[in-house]
Structures are given as C-alpha cells and as structure tokens.
Structure 1
Amino acid sequence: MQRRSCLYQPHKCEVHAFGVHIDSVYIGPSMTKAEMRKLLGIVIYMSVVHLPGRRDYWSAATRQEFVADAMPLNRFEEILSLLHATDNALIKKKGEPGYDRLHKVRPLLNNLNKNFAKCAEPEHMSVDEHIVPFKGHYNLKVYMEKKTNKWGYKIWGSAGASGYIHKFYVQGDNLVEDLKKRGFHVTCTVRQNRRRQCPTLTKKFEKKGRGSYDYRSAEGVLVCSWYDNKIVNVASNKCSVKPTAEVRRYEKKTKACVNIECPALIKAYNKCMGGVDKCDMMLSLYPIKMKSRKWYRRLIFHMIDLAIANAWHLQKAVKGTSSKYYKFKLAIAECLVQGALEPHPMQRDEMPNLPRDVPSAKHVPNHVRFDGINHLPKQMAKVPKNCKFPNCQRRTRFFCMKCKVYLCIDGKSDCFYNYHLTD
C-alpha cells in the first residue's frame, strides 16, 4: 500500500495525495491543493450551517449550493477518509526510542503552537483544561464526570484575558515541566487532598464566618485557605496574602449584601482567570463535527477550530472591532472554496456550468472580488444585462465567472478591470 495523504508537514504546509490500493481496490486519483482547500472550506461551512446528516448537503431536498457545487459527495468522502497530519513512514512504534502517543497530530500541534506564540504574551495568563468530545477507543481518552462532554481528550491551554490561546497541550504532555522551563509564576486552585505538608486550619472557618482565612508557606510556595460559600484553596509562588481587600457578597441570613475580607492572591486569581473558558465557549458555538473512528481526526478538526478562534481574536485586536464569529467562519470557508489563498490554474472541469441567462449576484464579498485570481470573462447572456460597476449605465453580455456579475469589457470602458481593482 502506498503512503496516504498528508495534511501538514513539520516546516512546510504541503498536501500530498496518492492513489491507494487496499485489498486490490484502487481508491481515487491524485489530490490537488485546490481540493484540500475546498475540503477544509466545506468542513468549516458545515460547522456553521447545520443539517441532520453529512449527505444532506448534496441531496435534492436540502441541497446547499456552496457545498454541492464545490465538490462531489463521493470525492469529499474519499479525501476525508484519507486525511492525515503526519507521514506514517516516520512514526516510531511503541517501545522504540522517540515513541510519541501523539505522533499522528504532533507536526500540526507543534506548528500551531509555534504560530500562536508569535503574538506577544500578556503579563497575566490563565491555564485551564477543556474537553474535546470523543467516544472512540484510544488510551488518551479520559472520563470527567463534572464536564458536559464527559468522554474525550483533555486539552490544557494557556490564554490571556481575551481568550486568545498562546499555547495548548494534549494530555500526555508535561504541562508543569514546560511552565517551569519557561519561567512562569503560578497562582492556582488546589484540591483539599493535594496540599501535602501545608495543612491549614479549615475546621474553625465555619465558626469564624465568611471571609476567614489561614495560610502556610514552604520552599517559596504559599498555600492559602479562604472561606467564602465554601472553602477555597489557592497556591502561589508569586502572590502573597497581604494586602487583603474587601469583596461584596450576598448574605442569605440577612438578605443583604455584605463586605468580607479577601486575601490578595485570591483576588489576583479571580482577576486573571477565565481566558481558556472564553475560548472554550467560542469553540462550543460552531464546532466542526465530523464523526470518525480515527482518534486523530477529532483532534485535527479541533485544532482547526482553535486556529480560527485565535484568528478572530487577532482581527478584533487589530481592528478594534470584529464581525460575528459565525460570519468570520463563513468568510474563511468561502475564501478557501473560492481558492483565494493561493493562485492555482483553473481546470476546465472546475469551470461552473451556468445557464445562459444567469442573473448577477446581489453581493460579492471583498475577499473574493479583489483577490486577483481566476476572474475570467465569458459571454453569457442572449440579451444584454445591466453592468454591475457603480455609475455605469451601459448593458453587456460579458460575465465574470468567479464574481458572477455582468461587467463591460470592450474598447469604450474598463468596467471589468476597474471592478476588480477599486472599491
């Protein structure tokens, strides 16, 4: 059997696809980069526009032109079944030096972390966990009773207050060791049975009432127990208990708000936490749901979602405002399907088969209109149509096959040329 398709290479984003022989059955011709772009665009589109089943996007009753016109169903499922993120020939077997349980996704994971780190890290970051749902069989799958999705992969991420993920780890990586090497100071919650040799006087808290606290320190690490509605344990190698501050809480007995004392490290923890939770919330809005028994494909699609969420945060930081998240995902999907990311020659079988008197599109997105790729004129209408270029009163038979609008293209005007260069 020949090597399967490769989505990601360690230092160079390339796509390789080969015909594959499995049990003497030949599967498909070579895949192009344009097909991979279309596949990713379709998958992202499906995450926003939901239908009961994958095949419904091509069925007559619920057909989605964006998907069905981009790629045939059989070709889509064929490429999806061969989707990989590494070269299987380079994988170390269990027991061999250099064996990695995440070998199937390691190149993609490392590349994303490398690119995420290019954005400047804020002074305060939160580290938290979230679950990537998966019910298949793999030894990295965990069960977390208190999570909404109880079965799946545990992902640790470090994020700023905005929700931008600067680095993420799949369980199996050593998070604490990595943070130590990077010189991070940590303030975190700890469980009651994980305080080791730092016992605090938690038994007397209920008598003292809300706002009471106790702490111990050793070897540069401080552990503080604070009584709010229940006992909260926080450890830190950076913050101290003093100076304390007052926080406002509702008291059930008096049915009124009261001020209670709060240690400094707990206030600092509450101020900086929640970045990963924001990202987790965004990922849960429009996740890519491609069912598969292959454990690594669920992680691949989660990483794509994570990259899109980070891109949305960057757009918001640069522009000061951003479009709605689902519109942002749809714009990326359209960009990928239209082939706007990288020039490639248009094949004859990729030319859309349109009727002679097709009407002009009502709106053309800027990232399609101004990308400068494959804007090919074709004489379409039997009866001349109104030119789409602003302030042009003429009529024309020439049609842009990519923008799907009628534009003048003759010696008297340059509407076709100007439409794709000026706003």
Structure 2
Amino acid sequence: MAHEEALQTTTDSEEESSFSSEEEEDFEDELLHFEERFDAAEDTLSNEKMPLHAHHTRAAHKRLSVFNSEKLLKCESDQMPAAKRARTLSWKAETDVDRVPQTLRFLPARELGPQLSAADAHSPMSLFKLFFTESAVTNLCHNTNAQAARAIAKGCKYKWTDVSVDELYRYIGLVFYMAAVKMSSITDYWRQDSLFFLPFPATVMPRDRYRIISWNVHMSHPDADKENDRKRGTAQHDRLFRIKPLMNTIRLACKAFYHPRRNLAVKERLVACRANTGMTRCTKVKPTKLGFKFFVLSDSSNGYTVDFSVYTGKNSFPADRGLSYDAVMSLLDRKVLGSGYHVYMDDFYTSHKLFTDLFALKFGACGTYRDQRKDFPKTAANSLSRSSSRGSIRWIRDGPLVCVKWMDTQVVSVCSTIHAAYTGERVQRKIKAQDTWKAKSFPCPAPVIAYNQHMGGVDLSGQLLQYYTAQHKTMKWYKKIFLHFLDIAASNAFILYKELHGNMTHDQFMEELIAELCGASQKAAPKQFSTDHVPIPGAELTSDVRRIASVGRRICVHCKAVHGKKQQTPWKCQACDVHLCLQLNRNCFQEWHKSL
C-alpha cells in the first residue's frame, strides 16, 4: 500500500504542470511512462526526454528501486492473459475505495476552438465557403457539365447550358430553402395556382433549370467513373470514387478550421438510401431501412463534426482488426489532435483491446460495453442480480481500465480509463410511492455520469443536421451523400459562427445563408400584390347605353407620366384609385403595377 501511495503522488494534472527542476520533471515522466505502458515497444517519448545523468542521482536510484520492487511483486499477475485475469477478479462494491487513475496530460496540437479570428467579419456564406470552396464548386461545375453532355449524347432531350459557379451556389441555396420550407414535391415550389404559392424560387431560377441541374450534378468526372467501374470486383476498384473529390475537401476543411475541445464522441450516422450499391446497411431496429453508415467524430461541447468516414464493406479499413476497432482508430489522429483527449463511445465500439491501445496512445476512453465481449469480466462473484436494489454499484479494476455495473431500472455496464469507479456522485430519479411520484437521489458511478454528459455530442450534431436537412428523394446514391455533405457544411458553418460571434440563432443563420447563396436581399421580401388591385369602372354606370363608354372617363396617369399624353379611359384601379388604360393595344394597368 505504501508503494501504491508513493506512485499515486506522481499523477499529472489536466493542464501542463510546473516543476521545481528539470530532474524532477524527468522522473515524473519516467514513472508515468512505466506505469501506463502495456507493451515493451510502446511510447518511447518518455525515454527520449529523460537525460542520462538523471540515473546517477541518489533520488533516481531510490525511486526506481521502489518501482522495481512493485514491479516484481506484480510480475506474475501482469503476465497472466487478460481473459484469465478477468475471470479471477471479483466485483467490489461502492464502499470499496478505487484508486484514482492517472490523468493523462491534455496537450492539444493547436489552440482550441475555431482557427479563425473573432475580430474579422464573418458572414454565413463566407463560413459555408470554407467547406464548399470556390475551387471545389468549380470542379463540381466541370464534372456536372461533363455529365450533362454525356446524358445528351445518350439521347436525353432537354436543353442544357453549362452551369457556372454562381449558378451552382444559387442551386445550393434553393436546396437549403426547400429544407427550410417543406412542400410535398419539387414542382410545388413553382406552382402559381395553389393556395400555398411561393414566389421566391421562381426569382432564383426556373423550375426546369433546377431539375436539370439536379439530374446531372456530379462530384467526379464521368470518364474517370467509367475507368473505375471497369475495375469492379478487383482490389483496385474504389467504391467511394464518385464522392471522393468533394469528400476529401470537406474532411480537410472540418479539421483545418476548428480544433476540438477535450471531450470527443464517436458514433455512427445513417444516411437513408435504397440504392443497391453493396455499401448500404440494413439496421437491426428497422430491417427495411437501408442507408450509408458514417462513422463520425464530433466535439461533445457543441456537436461540431471533426471528422468522418464512410463504411464501404468488410474492407473499409486496412488494419483489419475488427470494424469497431478500426473505425475509431481511423478517426483519432494524434498528430492532428494532440494527446490527452477523452473519447466517448457506445457498446458497438467498446472493447478491452481498443481501450488499452488508446490509453497507450495517450487517449482516455469511456463507453458502455457488452458483457460477452472478449476480456471483459465475466465472474459472478459479488456481481449484481435482478434483486439488487436501485443504485447498487459493482466494479472491477484491471490496470487503467475500470468496469462498472450500476443498477438503474436495469443493469448499466460502463468501462473507462479516465475515471474512478465511484467518487460520491448522486443522481435524481423519480419513484412511485403510495400512488405518487417522488424524486429520490441514488449513488451513481463517475463513468456513467460522464458518459451521459458527453456522449450526446454526435446526437447534438445529428439534431443540428435534422433541423434543416437537405435530404430528399433522389435516384442516385452519390447524390444522397452529396446532400449530406451540404448538411455537414451548413451545420459546421453555423457552429463556427456561433463560436466566433454568437449573436444569431440557427433559423436566422440559415435564412441569411439562403439569401446570400441565392443572391437575394434578406430584408427585401418578394413583392406581394393585394387582390384589391383590379380594374373597375371610373364612374357609376348609366342607364343610357349610348353614354356607357364616355361617362366617367378620366386621363390615364400612366400615359401622362410616361408618354406625356392625355389619353382618357373609363377604367381605374380599385386599390390605387387612379385611372389607367385597359385596351388590347395599350395595357397601362399592367405597366403601372409592374413599377409598384
């Protein structure tokens, strides 16, 4: 126990600590290196930092001898396989004290938050263009024009003029407008014979032009697609070839313009699609729902999408250590992020090997786990049962990894390399007593509280995407993913704006973004004409048939103002109360109201 207490005093703080001397700093790093390692080939950084003369001091020999004796005492148990060690351990209760695990020092690679200056002015469109850059949209226009030319060569009978960068931005603006204003079909946005008539889309572009662009929008060049399709069935075939040009741009932008805070969340996101591409996944909850699975890394504090990858089948990741393991490892790049991050995930990803390997890379992890997973404790000694009271806690520590079971309405299993098993926290739950519901507090493990607090990151990101999702029915699978890229770019742009300025709601941000993309003034709403603007006789009708056309004639205000002529007319506008010509060869009524 004395040795353990001595080692616990060498824990690092969450921020960079200040040391009294260089030798003391080297010794702290050395002990941290030996305590945290699981593999002899792991983490050589501490050895590189430790000067050679430190070994010759009396303090160094004394502290290392303490560690060596501790190491010899535990040598036999350390060499025991993880699966066998998990069977021999027994569950402890909340009354047993768990030693606080060593906190990994948080050393981010860059300054946290947006990598933009808050002093500069940023409009919604300028932030959106960080992800959909003009160069990326130029390439998108080039490939879209090539796809349209190919379609016309195959016999498609529609008029096509090459789409420009400005026009494609207006098209994207209309896509977001349709996400904000829901109609049953695309054609309804241009209908004028409806009670729900919308004047705005027709001012941006004609309906047929919008539909033709939608049919031909393409992220890769059609000729290159043909070359890739010939490789189908071979190792050289790239299933993501049609989306990769834009996907790489979006991923780089997500990582370049924002550095996440300490708590990250990993989860899958499904983009619904019924196309049969070999990459679509069928969910267990809804077997009829097909879609593309995205593995997403997000900042838990605001839902910012830091990075993502698309599942393409069994060969999605080259490491081949299991889908869940490889998916997490592909999203966590120590060179880009830094070290000391806390990663939260659900039971699909959690495994003993993943958590220990992440800890070796200086990443803490916390997540729910499945009891049947390899190397997790399966012993029934002192474990929870169905008769256990609510709030009961059982835990087992295996090195840096602690596995906790907590009885809520059912047993919750969580493991962590970040937290101690139980540190005194309590949660409120409503229970029914004597036909009334009352709040009662129960003890709750620290990993469970942290998981509930931080795992909402991807869910928060998904909520932001769903508020104004650009998704709609389309025949091509890659167009569904193109629409999802629009969602990621818009939600990340809003989070950047909120972090930099914070004076605009999501509704206001999307409204201004749509106005800027479409080239319209947000404040100047489309002209609305009253139904009172109708022609009526300028005087009361007379019973004398011969004088009907001459009684009440007055000078037309439009002819006098525009042409300088004093043309008389019996008609006037009911709402404007001015006389206007209304003849086959001179329709001043229409011309007058155009200028209003």
Q: TM-score, normalised by structure 1?
A: 0.71
The alpha-carbon deviation at position 219 of structure 1 amounts to: 6.5
Q: Give the corresponding residue for 1:327.
A: 508
Identify which of 174, 182, 189 aligns with 2:368.
Answer: 189
For 1:103 and 1:181, locate their aligned partners in 2 and report how far apart those are by CA, in whole Å. Answer: 23
Q: Give the corresponding residue for 1:289.
A: 471
Letter in 1 for 2:282: Y
Q: How is 1:309-328 mapped onto 2 (pairs within 5 angstroms)?
A: 309-323=491-505, 325-328=506-509
**Alignment check: 8 A CA contact 1:8 1:107 kept:** no
Q: Give the corresponding residue for 1:175.
A: 327
For 1:90 and 1:107, locate their aligned partners in 2 and report how far apart those are by CA, in whole Å. Answer: 12
Distance change >3 Å, CA 405–CA 205, structure 1 → 2: farther
Greater mean deviation of Cα atoms: 281-290 or 141-150: 141-150
For 2:170 and 2:488, locate their aligned partners in 1 and report how far apart those are by CA, in whole Å. Answer: 19
Distance change >3 Å, CA 148–CA 68, structure 1 → 2: farther
**Alignment check: 8 A CA contact 1:9 1:108 kept:** no
The alpha-carbon deviation at position 297 of structure 1 amounts to: 0.7
Q: Give the corresponding residue for 1:275.
A: 457
Q: Give the corresponding residue for 1:38.
A: 170
**Alignment check: 8 A CA contact 1:85 1:107 kept:** yes
Per-residue Cα deviation, 1:271-325 (whole angstroms, up to 9, x for no partner)? 21211111212222222233112111111101101211111122111123323x2
2:270 paired with 1:131: yes
For 2:174 and 2:286, locate their aligned partners in 1 and report how far apart those are by CA, in whole Å. Answer: 30
Q: Would you identify which runs of 4 or more consecutive aligned residues in structure 1 move more than 6 Å?
A: 7-11
Q: Give the corresponding residue for 1:418.
A: none
2:486 paired with 1:307: no
2:220 paired with 1:75: no
For 1:89 and 1:9, locate their aligned partners in 2 and report how far apart those are by CA, in whole Å. Answer: 24
**Alignment check: 8 A CA contact 2:471 2:484 kept:** no
Q: TM-score, normalised by structure 2?
A: 0.52
Please, which runs of 5 or more residues in structure 2 have no aligned partner?
1-130, 317-325, 335-360, 526-557, 563-593
Please, which runs of 5 or more residues in structure 1 have no aligned partner?
1-6, 340-360, 366-379, 385-403, 407-423
2:418 paired with 1:238: yes
For 2:303 and 2:422, locate their aligned partners in 1 and report how far apart those are by CA, in whole Å. Answer: 29
Distance change >3 Å, CA 181–CA 80, structure 1 → 2: same
Q: How is 1:200-211 mapped onto 2 (pairs within 5 angstroms)?
A: 201=380, 204-211=384-391
Letter in 2 for 1:169: S
Q: Give the corresponding residue for 1:120.
A: 259
Distance change >3 Å, CA 206–CA 136, structure 1 → 2: same
* SS class of match (2:517): helix
| Cα RMSD for the two superposed structures | 3.4
Could you say which structure has the higher helix fraction? 2
For 2:508 and 2:441, locate their aligned partners in 1 and report how far apart those are by CA, in whole Å. Answer: 44
Greater mean deviation of Cα atoms: 271-280 or 20-29: 20-29
Distance change >3 Å, CA 148–CA 46, structure 1 → 2: farther
Letter in 2 for 1:30: D
Q: Give the corresponding residue for 1:151.
A: 290
Distance change >3 Å, CA 45–CA 165, structure 1 → 2: same
Identity across the alignment (%): 24
Q: How is 1:334-373 mapped onto 2 (pairs within 5 angstroms)?
A: 334-338=515-519, 363-364=523-524
For 1:148 and 1:306, locate their aligned partners in 2 and report how far apart those are by CA, in whole Å. Answer: 26
For 1:128 and 1:383, locate their aligned partners in 2 and report how far apart those are by CA, in whole Å. Answer: 68
Distance change >3 Å, CA 65–CA 199, structure 1 → 2: same
For 2:237 and 2:396, locate their aligned partners in 1 and report how far apart those are by CA, in whole Å. Answer: 41
**Alignment check: 8 A CA contact 1:10 1:108 kept:** no
Q: Give the corresponding residue for 2:242.
A: 104
For 2:455 and 2:559, locate their aligned partners in 1 and report how far apart those are by CA, in whole Å. Answer: 60
**Alignment check: 8 A CA contact 2:137 2:165 kept:** no
Q: How is 1:395-410 mapped onto 2 (pairs within 5 angstroms)?
A: none
* SS class of match (2:391): coil
2:154 paired with 1:23: yes
The alpha-carbon deviation at position 55 of structure 1 amounts to: 0.9
For 2:499 and 2:595, locate their aligned partners in 1 and report how far apart those are by CA, in whole Å. Answer: 34
Distance change >3 Å, CA 200–CA 102, structure 1 → 2: farther
For 1:381 and 1:139, locate their aligned partners in 2 and report how far apart those are by CA, in whole Å. Answer: 69
Ranked by relative contact order (alpha carbons within 8 Å, sequence separation 6 or more), the top structure is: 2
How many positions carry a matched residue from both structures? 345
For 1:81 and 1:8, locate their aligned partners in 2 and report how far apart those are by CA, in whole Å. Answer: 20
Distance change >3 Å, CA 200–CA 264, structure 1 → 2: farther
Distance change >3 Å, CA 132–CA 233, structure 1 → 2: same
The alpha-carbon deviation at position 97 of structure 1 amounts to: 4.3
Letter in 2 for 1:84: H
Greater mean deviation of Cα atoms: 190-199 or 296-305: 190-199
Per-residue Cα deviation, 1:112-142 (whole angstroms, up to 9, x for no partner)? 1211112121011122223222223232222
Q: Give the corresponding residue for 1:225.
A: 405
Letter in 2 for 1:81: W
Distance change >3 Å, CA 29–CA 205, structure 1 → 2: same
Q: Give the corresponding residue for 1:389.
A: none
**Alignment check: 8 A CA contact 2:292 2:311 kept:** yes
Identify which of 208, 221, 231 aligns with 1:87.
Answer: 221
Q: How is 1:40-59 mapped onto 2 (pairs within 5 angstroms)?
A: 40-59=172-191
Q: How is 1:232-271 mapped onto 2 (pairs within 5 angstroms)?
A: 232-253=412-433, 255-271=437-453
